[in-house]
């Protein structure tokens, strides 16, 4: 499937130091594997092991980028609530 037509996901991983990282990908398992080996986001280098704590199908890349930016601006306590409740992201998805 061409990437422009791919389904994009938002994901959050917890680093070994407890910090949360938010990203987007079309293949979360592949992306996490890249992060675990030190490829990809510079922020995650040296913070392994990582644990996937949240994922949500978003849809288009442009919408996924918008939701990612909105989530990244939230304080950690709000991100934790999203994770704990499997919170609905509809306020950012326009649903």
Q: Where are the domains of the chain?
A: 3-89
Q: What is the pTM of this model?
A: 0.84
Please give the mean pLDDT across all residues of the chain: 87
Residue 86 confidence (pLDDT): 76
Residue range 26-40: average pLDDT? Answer: 91
Could you tell me the pLDDT band of residue 58, with boundaries at 50, 70 and 90?
very high
Class assignment of domain 3-89?
A: alpha beta
Q: Burial-class residue 4 by CB neighbours within 10 Å (0-12, 13-18, 19+).
A: exposed
Per the CB < 8 A criterion, the answer to whether 31 and 25 are in contact is yes
Residue 2 pLDDT exceeds 70: no
């Amino acid at each position: 499937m061409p990437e422009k037509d791919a389904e994009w996901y938002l994901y959050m991983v917890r680093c070994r130091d407890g910090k949360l990282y938010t990203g987007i990908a079309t293949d979360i398992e592949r992306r996490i594997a890249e992060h675990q080996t030190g490829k990809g986001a510079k922020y995650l280098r040296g913070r392994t092991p990582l644990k996937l704590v949240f994922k949500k199908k978003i849809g288009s890349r442009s919408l996924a980028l918008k939701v990612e930016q909105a989530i990244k601006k939230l304080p950690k306590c709000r991100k934790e609530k999203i994770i704990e409740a499997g919170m609905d992201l509809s306020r950012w998805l326009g649903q």
